[in-house]
Amino acid sequence: DSTKRSIKARAVGIINGDSVTVDYYSPAVRGRSIWGGLVPFGEVWVTGAHNATAIDFPKDIQIAGTTLRSGRYGFFTIPAKEEWIIILNKNWDQHLADDYDAKDDILRVMVKPQKNEHTERLEYFIVPGKDSGGSIVVTWEKLRIELPFTLNK
């Protein structure tokens, strides 16, 4: 991949007949040091490039024991070496994390990053699970994070 731009991308997954969608910009590694370099540890990141990553849930959902209403949310993370914080925030329409405000957080969940085969471009996947469950998966460079959820029926 020789493009130097962060390209606009979309991930769509069908969970029990309903579409879950993630809109994001996909940066490339291009030989750069990513974790603790381009993406600093301990700082809020849009988990993409340019504008905040936005996720749409067609129905109310359950994540880590918390119910969220259907709708569009900003998807942010705070990367760290051992654990990441995944954040869903009600402000999805913003440039980078410039307008990010923790008071608008709807949910924060701790996850452990997993090793992954090299992925040149940041990618999101919506992976179906059992019944009305699934996961939002993010891969980039040699890491993967996963956020399980269940759509309400």
- Asked if residues 88 and 105 have their Cβ atoms less than 8 Å apart, the reply is yes
**What pLDDT, on the 0 to 100 scale, is given for residue 3?**
63
Angle at 11 (CA atoms; ends 51, 89), nearest 5 degrees = 45
Regions of the chain with pLDDT less than 50: none
Give the DSSP letter string of the chain. Answer: ----S-EEEEEEEEETTEEEEEEEEE-B-TT--TBTTTB-TTS-B-SSSSBPEEEEESS-EEETTEEE-SEEEEEEEE--SS-EEEEEES--SSBTTTT--GGGEEEEEEE--EEEEEEEEEEEEEEE-STTEEEEEEEEEEEEEEEEEEE--
How far apart are the C-alpha atoms of 140 and 27, rounded to whole Å?
9
pLDDT at residue 88, as a whole number = 98
The reported pLDDT for the residue numbered 16 is: 86
Decide: pTM greater than 0.75: yes
Are 11 and 124 in contact by the 8 Å Cβ rule? The answer is yes
On whether the CB atoms of residues 114 and 138 are closer than 8 A, the answer is no
Token look-up 């699970």 returns: 129
Q: Within its chain, how far is the Cα of 153 from the centroid?
A: 23
